[in-house]
Amino acid sequence: MRYLVIALLALVLGGFIGHAIWGEKNPQPVDPLQVIVTQLKTHAVIAHERQLAIWYRACPTVFGKTPQIFIAWPARLSYQLELGDVRVTNSGGVIRVHTSAIHPDEPSVPTDFVDYLSTTSIFTFANEQELVNHEIGKATPIARYLTTYFLARDPSLQADFSGELQSLVEHLAAALGVPVTRIEVDMPKIEVTSWPKLPKLELCAGSMASVNGLPFAKFEEGYTVPVGFRPPPPARPAGPRGAAPPAAAPADMPKGIASVFPTR
């Protein structure tokens, strides 16, 4: 009899243990913020670009009569925001997204699209093609300088990244049924501590090097001197909420490849 009682108790205990292990379990609630974070990290990177047209008139010092070289080329500046360490919080319907800082990529300078026009004299004792190639070799250092300049001085750059991230979080929150009153992006302020150096540009007297119609460098006393300018915001179409598009760029603002010809 004693063994029968022990067997029954063991059977009942085994039933309880089996139910605890294999029985139906209530599904754990899903944290929508964690889903948003996972989706943002899956997105991985947000990228934006700036299209530039650079041109200037160079008068390099050579033996004999000084030549004039008009040179123009396009450049594409690239920037990225990595989302691998993004954090998301929700306080009373206000979603805050914390990210790392924007960082620049190597600029793209398609030398196949460099446009130039040189004026030389029989009294210019220098090889014209060598002079032109020397100026073309300055394109990448100039583009690196402008990449850093736009990173530090173009407020629309950070606004572009914040706007895209806000839109992405807004769509994710709507899909998950998360009530949202406002989305804020906490992105570190860009502080440039090391500026690339501009190469020596022997600009003709009274002229400056220009980017998208704005002067960015001049030549004084044998040195290339940077010139400050305010980058204009890029043109955008009307937003999804019916926001008015920004003011159109001036008609005389160059775009793409610029061809510069000497004045008579």
User: pLDDT, tens digit, for every residue of 79-96?
Assistant: 999 999 999 999 988 999
Structure token digits, residue 122: 């029989």
Nearest to 262 by CA among 111, 120, 64: 120
Q: Coil, strand or helix: which one is 161? A: helix
Q: What is the pLDDT of residue 249?
A: 42
pTM score, whole prediction: 0.75
Lowest mean pLDDT among 20-29, 31-40, 201-210, 255-264: 255-264
User: Which residues, in sequence order, are CB contacts of 228 under 8 Å at separation 6+?
Assistant: 153
Alpha carbons 110 and 139: distance in angstroms, whole number: 9
User: Which residues, in sequence order, are CB contacts of 200 under 8 Å at separation 6+?
Assistant: 223, 224
The 10s digit of each residue's pLDDT in 179-232 is: 999 999 999 988 888 899 999 999 999 999 999 999 999 999 889 999 999 998
3-state DSSP helix/strand/coil percent for the chain, to nearest 5? 30, 25, 45
The 10s digit of each residue's pLDDT in 141-190 is: 999 999 999 999 999 999 999 999 999 999 999 999 999 999 999 999 88
Q: Cβ(207)–Cβ(56) under 8 Å? A: yes
C-alpha of 180 from chain center: 28
Top-confidence residue, 247 or 95: 95
